[in-house]
Amino acid sequence: MPTILLLLACLAAFFSPPKPAKTYPVGQIKTPKGEILFWLYDETPNHKTSFMKLAKANYWDTLTFNRVINNFVAQGGCPDTPAGFSDSPYLLKPEFVPTIRHVYGAVGSGRDNNPEMLSAGCQFYIVQNKKGLARLDDKFTVFGQVFKGMNVVDAIVAVKTDKTDTPLEPIKLDVNVINLTAAELKKAGYVVK
């Protein structure tokens, strides 16, 4: 009898479906210029959660990259107003991390000049300066890093703009969070640490 049980256990293990591979949430921005993918940092949990929540709610899908400056940033989401970010659904406390800097491709959260350095939940930017923007470190929260699509960002900041740095032809956003396995991430250019 124990032999039959052992045989049945082996058969059950053999025919059991394999466990699905672990996946990781990745920011995805689809634009008329192409797709941008970026890693979302666990080290900035409130900004990561906020981005995922608003992306799932399709918050940005009626908005644009509203401020683009070559050698600086591509900024999208709710536009700046004289009153600051009064249209933002909420503000977030800063999450400055000494090991996460404003390097080329860094994804950060916009804010106005409020003294608490609170981030607007509605706005993000991507650093396009190849040397980075160290002057923004510990003043604006970086919550992601582009690993695919910086050529798209470069194309976005190269478009013609008006005097407020708004593209003359709107660059619409389609913002999502997609789940990729470590193998899929590696194929796209990111190695999970």
- The residue extents of the domains of the chain are 23-188
Average pLDDT of span 5-29: 75
Q: What's the mean pLDDT when you consider all of the chain?
A: 89
At residue 169, the pLDDT reads 95
| Architecture of the CATH domain 23-188 | Beta Barrel (2.40)
Compute the distance between CA of residue 45 and CA of residue 34 in angstroms, rounded to an integer: 27
Among 56-65, 71-80, 128-137, name the one with the lowest average pLDDT.
Answer: 71-80
Is the pLDDT confidence value at 44 over 60?
yes
Of 2 and 127, more confident: 127
Q: Which two tokens stand for residue 63?
A: 């908005």
pTM to 2 decimals?
0.87
Q: Which two tokens stand for residue 181?
A: 């396995």
At residue 10, the pLDDT reads 60
Confidence of residue 2 (pLDDT cuts 50, 70, 90): low
Sheet holding 123-127, edge to edge: 65-68, 73-77, 123-127, 106-109, 142-148, 34-40, 23-31, 174-181
